[in-house]
Amino acid sequence: MDNTHYISSDILTLDNLREIIVHQKKLELSEEAKVNIQKCRDYLDNKMTSHNEPIYGINTGFGSLYNIKISNENLSQLQENLVKSHACGTGEEVPQDIVKIMLLLKIQSLSYGNSGVQLLTVERLVDFYNNDILPVIYEQGSLGASGDLAPLAHLSLPLLGEGEVYFEGKKFHSKEILEKFNWQPIVMQSKEGLALLNGTQFMSAYGTYVLIKACKYSYLADLIGTISLEGFDGRIEPFNELIHYIRPHKGQVVTAKRVSDFLEGSEIITQKKQHVQDPYSFRCIPQVHGASKDAIDYVKKVFKTEINSVTDNPNIFIDTDQIISGGNFHGQPLALALDFIAMALSELGSISERRTYQLISGLRGLPAFLVENPGLNSGFMIPQYTAASIASQNKQLSTPASVDSIVSSNGQEDHVSMGANAATKALRVIDNLERILAIELMNASQAVHFREPLQSSEFIEAFLKAYREDVPLVKEDRILHYDIENTIAFLRSFQIEEELFN
């Protein structure tokens, strides 16, 4: 199998991206991409020799300094100064998995031939990606408009032999790595620094990373919720397709069918029930989980468009002989989508915690806190506290970033998206959801044990058997921190069908 992904004008999907990451594919510029990049660079070089008028960002200052014309002999220094001056990120380091996606998406955006960069510059970014040379980037510093300026400056510094990178698990000054590979620092040409720094690749990398996890954990929320339903001796009627066909939101219909499929052949679900109705956290799984699925689908569409777009400024159009300054770097579409997915994921955690609470409450024949000898043993009392704490934090993190804007650049950049803050929050929300669902699985699997000798479906029993190899049944009190961590590791290792990412 060819383990190479060719950068081209072909549509890059979320599934393509996941495949590139999972299979650790190498990148290579297609001939089409090379021609597009070179043609645009040649056009710009010719334009600079024949055009004396100021063109924003090419022979002028930046931001509110747009009216200051720069002489041709200083254009390279202008671009280098831009990269250095904008590298003022701070805070926690961006996870290396996300930095790698940033590299890929920046390469993709520059490959369309509307940015005016040197082919050598894009090829060096490809070299960084293929050799796992990952620039050190910081979470804080981007307003999500004018592009992700500070994070992308840190991404670009190693091209100049500046800044730091990770290589083979260690942090190096980038100059050491350039020497190791016998590479010369890139000499920036007109517009190049701006093309590298303008763009939405910080927000886009976070967003696509969160989306890939969200697709998986949306599925796992359905599965773990179904196991909780079995543990709680819940009813099947709320998942009847007739209910959902008269309110046919796509996510609702999909969720109800999935839960019904999970339960096929279960002895527990078909036994006679003593109660006529379940609490909302069980009965309304299709409606709540389904609404989050529909939100995820919307966010997928936004990011699919974004990762196949040119987001720097100004944009170069060779066919019409135009260089046009606009605002494709503005992160508003992403900011709104990232806030939306954070809320959708937070709700999956919120309803999960409620199911956990019901399971430990001593209802429906289950022992209090799901353990023998409650009193002597506290059992699963405190993991619910942990889930409640995390669910509450997710609610706080779901306060939208996109409704804020602070004027910058002396009033020239007077409305910004704050999409970068939305992006880093969304990552924390999905990581928190993972922990909440892990705690629910601990409780749900324990509750199902108390339904023996009745069996759940073949699929659920096989899933729980695999889980029990990592996390044994709790018979007496033990340190449950380790169980939570082992459950998280189990969920991370669990593979789901590829079509869920489409």
Residues classed as catalytic: 56
How many residues make up the chain in this entry? 502
d(CA 429, CA 210): 9
387 within 8 A of 356, measured Cβ to Cβ? yes
CA dihedral 196, 122, 31, 45 (to 10 degrees): 70
The b-or-e profile of 131-156 (16+ CB within 10 A means b, else e) is eebbbbbbbebbbbbbbbbbbbbbbb
Nearest to 70 by CA among 192, 190, 193, 195: 190
| Cβ-proximal residues to 62 (8 Å cutoff; 6+ apart), any chain | 82, 194
Cβ(293)–Cβ(225) under 8 Å? no
Q: Is 450:366 a contact under the CB 8 Å cutoff?
A: yes
Establish how many alpha carbons lie within 13 A of residue 39's alpha carbon, considering only the half-sphere containing its beta carbon. 15
Separation CA 359–CA 447 (nearest Å): 7
- Quick one: DSSP state of residue 144? S
- Residue ranges of alpha helices (H) inside 143-284 are 149-156, 174-180, 192-197, 201-231, 241-245, 250-262, 267-270, 280-283
In the beta sheet, which residues pair with residue 28? 6
Between helices 458-470 and 201-231, what is the axis angle to 10°?
110
Q: How far apart are CA 482 and CA 460, in angstroms?
A: 23
DSSP 8-class letter at 12: P
Residue 322, strand partner residues: 317
Determine contact, residues 92/138, Cβ cutoff 8 Å.
yes
How far apart CA 367 and CA 355 sit, in angstroms, is 15
Q: For residue 116, which amino acid is it?
A: G
Rounded Cα–Cα distance for residues 440 and 221 (Å): 9
